[in-house]
Structure 1
Amino acid sequence: MHDYLDDARNQDVLISVNGDLKKRGEAVVSVFDSGYLLGDGVWEGLRVMNGGVAFLPEHFKRLYAGAKTIDMDIGLGREELTGRLMDCLKANGMRDGVHIRLMVTRGIKKTPYQGPRFTIGKATIVIIPEFKMPVPSVIDQGVSLFTVHVRRTGPAEQDQKLNSHSKLNCIMACIQADKAGADEALMLDPAGFVATCNSTHFFIVRDGEVWTSPPEYCLGGITRGNIIQVCREAGIPVFEKRFSLFDVYSADEAFITGTFAGVTPVREVDGRVIEHKDGPISRRVRELYKALQARSLTPIV
């Protein structure tokens, strides 16, 4: 899902660290930074295409909601943060085929300790833009998933709607899938129903209907929400519902979604071959999403 084509230009990109543009090898943060010490922060992945940033208001809405949830002051308003993002892109001459990791942590600690009261100074804001395009063969071949024992937690443990730097739960799932020879981990909720993947969202197609899990145990994915939107607008039946591996193994089609690669077909789950790899509904959903993405662009100015 996240395999990308190497691009030599990335060796010379400028990275924004608290508004200062640094060369790749000089872009550093303190070992006392809250993100490094504790995973204390929130982040967004954004796509740049055709001279604009896709779904920027939606990504910023999630970013600021996450910051408020952890009681963190980003220190910049949305217009100011947009300006900083645009300045970084313009300094790099970036207008297409770019993926951005925008990260905000609580800032520098005066000593390694969890308590926010030990934070000194403002939030740390890092913007890493890279020329990055998905490997085309991934769409052609589809991806394989492996159902892992690591479960998605609920709001009582750590709310999955929070796009935090603390991703150890998903990393453990990713490791298990890697060890099993799969491309991505399929994760279940505490009751054993399908929840999501370790870094993407999961959809199946059965009898002309598109199914995805309810939102309680998965990130509020921007791409996930847009897939639901385009299905509804196109008259494709789409449901957020609980379903089990029984429904997955016998699905007509399956695909995963994310900001980086959009819609990617699934060819097998736990060794069970999906009947139609990149079937007609998956292809239609991909094209509908691409059209919506093209209409969503905030121009780089």
Structure 2
Amino acid sequence: MVKGTHQALDDVRNEKVKIFINGEFFLRDEAKISVYDSGYLVGDGVWEAFRVHNGKLIFIDQHLDRLWQSAKVIGISLPFSREELIENVKSTLEINEMKDHIHVRAMVTRGIKKTPSQDPRLTISGPNVVIIAEHKQAADESKNKGISLFTSAIRRGSPDYLDPRLNCHSKLHEVQALIQAIEAGADEALMLDINGFVSTCNATNFFMVKGNEVWTSTGEYCMNGITRGNVIKVCAQNGIVCLQKNFSLFDVYGADEAFVTGTFGGLTPVVKIDGKSIGPGACGPTTAHLRQLYEGLVAKQLR
């Protein structure tokens, strides 16, 4: 089993899931997209992932806001409304008889190309839409024991050439960062920004605890994580000082606690960075408290 923030319990039901492709459903082994698809050819597409608990699409409005913004940024005109996409997601859940502990990924590419090329004018179809829903429950190991990070040499880019807030299919720099971390014996990668300050991780957002304060990056060079925003929100609601600021590895190595946030794993403790133990070497008290507050926010979505 792969350890990290996406470590999930095995579920044999996923072998037979039906996948939504442009209004039709296909068994997993039969679900296919053309090799001329823009996403396959040049990573030209956007995506969104969210959780489903007790039949409710958690924080769905925030996720759709991000999807529509990402599509607008890269010039994809979505040929459906938010309500239509939600109905397609619900149809996907219904045909798979899914209700709880579900992870949904919705992907939109620019469409089929006439020939392999970057040029969007050579697209000869409308956008391709794929919805994958899986039975996916987080394993206790990462959640309770925590994960280790390695600081990658791959930097988070500047907003003027590939804005880190863009949830696009082009994730190669993050893959490179993760490969470096894995080869160094860590679970996931910590990434710095172009100025050398701590930014984010390859697939999650990074937080640390120093004294009575929670620190995270300025947000200028990191993904605009929905869970990140909600953790900042619960801090404000509960009188917990949460600073969005520049800080370096010097600060991180001396942190009392550290954790990462993401849609799938929620809050996952970080127990080691670059071979150095962080805090108690397990889930710290502030991380545990924030996790409880965040789970309370999720619970409100279920009402």
Provide the TM-score with structure 1 as the length reference. 0.97
Structure 2 counterparts to residues 205-220 of structure 1, below 5 A: 205-220=209-224
Partner of residue 163, structure 2: 159
Residue 281 of structure 2 is aligned to residue 288 of structure 1 = no
Secondary structure of 1:58 counterpart: helix
Separation (CA, whole Å) in 2 of partners of 1:189 and 1:140: 29
Structure 2 counterparts to residues 1-301 of structure 1, below 5 A: 1-276=5-280, 277-297=282-302
Q: What amino acid sits opposite 2:43 in the alignment? A: G
Secondary structure of 1:203 counterpart: strand
The total of aligned residue pairs comes to 298
Provide the TM-score with structure 2 as the length reference. 0.97
The Cα shift of 1:296 comes to 2.5
Deviations 1:177-198 (A, max 9, x none): 0100101100001111000000
The Cα shift of 1:294 comes to 2.0
Give the gaps of 5 or more residues in structure 2.
Answer: none
Conservation of the 8 A alpha-carbon contact between 1:54 and 1:294:
no
Q: What amino acid sits opposite 2:8 in the alignment? A: Y
Separation (CA, whole Å) in 1 of partners of 2:154 and 2:142: 25
Q: How well do the aligned residues superpose, as a CA RMSD in angstroms?
A: 0.9
Separation (CA, whole Å) in 1 of partners of 2:169 and 2:183: 23
The Cα shift of 1:137 comes to 1.4
Separation (CA, whole Å) in 1 of partners of 2:191 and 2:66: 22
Secondary structure of 2:47 counterpart: strand
Q: What amino acid sits opposite 2:285 in the alignment? A: P
The Cα shift of 1:4 comes to 0.9
Separation (CA, whole Å) in 1 of partners of 2:111 and 2:270: 39
Separation (CA, whole Å) in 1 of partners of 2:76 and 2:46: 9
Identical-pair percentage: 53
Separation (CA, whole Å) in 2 of partners of 1:174 and 1:102: 23
Separation (CA, whole Å) in 1 of partners of 2:195 and 2:26: 47
Secondary structure of 1:231 counterpart: helix
Deviations 1:19-63 (A, max 9, x none): 101100111100000000010000011101122110001000000
Q: Runs of 4 or more off by more than 3 Å in structure 1?
A: none
Separation (CA, whole Å) in 2 of partners of 1:224 and 1:12: 33
The Cα shift of 1:94 comes to 0.7
Conservation of the 8 A alpha-carbon contact between 1:187 and 1:196:
yes
Separation (CA, whole Å) in 2 of partners of 1:195 and 1:222: 16
Give the gaps of 5 or more residues in structure 1.
Answer: none
Q: What amino acid sits opposite 2:68 in the alignment? A: Y
The Cα shift of 1:110 comes to 0.7
Separation (CA, whole Å) in 2 of partners of 1:237 and 1:275: 19
